[in-house]
């Protein structure tokens, strides 16, 4: 019984270590960052569509998340992270790193500008999302592989 418990503990510890290591990989970190950006854009979308009431605090938080997250996002594409962990990053990123970074910076700047003006109603959030959405697709079209 005691040995079993020890083995179980060791197995669990092993799992824990594996999980932490995988979560620290650049592929996982950047996917996590994009997930945050996706959630923030989703919150704005809910307001723009009228599914959620306009809430200045949520708009502010979402735009802040997008502008902050996308600033660090391009730092997580070191050589050697081109594949693995089901990354959807296109190999083109490493061939055009400057352009990739410029596209990230554009989204960051647009989100900051919108934050400074802060859309004040549903229509304003919709217009903001139109601007941001173009930035998302302009990068995804060039640099995100479709895994359907």
Interface with ligand HEC (CB under 6 A), residue from 43, 89, 114, 125: 89
Q: Which is nearer to ligand HEC, 96 or 122 (CB)?
A: 96
Q: Which is nearer to ligand HEC, 27 or 48 (CB)?
A: 27
Least distance from ligand HEC to the Cβ atom of residue 37, Å: 5
**CA gap 7, 77 in Å, rounded:** 37
Q: Which is nearer to ligand HEC, 54 or 94 (CB)?
A: 94
Interface with ligand HEC (CB under 6 A), residue from 16, 38, 84, 91: 38
Residue among 37, 100, 44 at smallest CA distance from 74: 100
Sign of the Cα torsion 95, 101, 107, 113 reads negative
Residue 97: C-alpha distances to residues 31, 41, 131, 147 (Å): 18, 24, 23, 22
136 contributes a contact to ligand HEC by CB under 6 A: yes
Least distance from ligand HEC to the Cβ atom of residue 78, Å: 12
């Amino acid at each position: 019984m005691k040995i079993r418990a020890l083995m179980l503990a060791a197995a669990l510890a092993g799992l824990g270590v594996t999980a932490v290591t995988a979560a620290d990989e650049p592929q996982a970190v950047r996917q996590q960052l994009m997930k945050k950006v996706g959630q923030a854009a989703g919150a704005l979308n809910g307001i723009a569509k009228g599914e959620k009431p306009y809430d200045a605090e949520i708009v502010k938080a979402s735009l802040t998340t997008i502008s902050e997250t996308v600033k660090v996002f391009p730092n997580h594409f070191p050589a050697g992270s081109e594949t693995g962990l089901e990354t959807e990053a296109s190999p083109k990123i490493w061939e055009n790193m400057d352009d990739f970074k410029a596209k990230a910076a554009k989204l960051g700047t647009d989100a900051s500008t919108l934050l400074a003006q802060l859309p004040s109603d549903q229509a304003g959030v919709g217009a903001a999302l139109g601007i941001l959405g173009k930035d998302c697709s302009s990068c995804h079209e060039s640099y995100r592989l479709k895994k359907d």
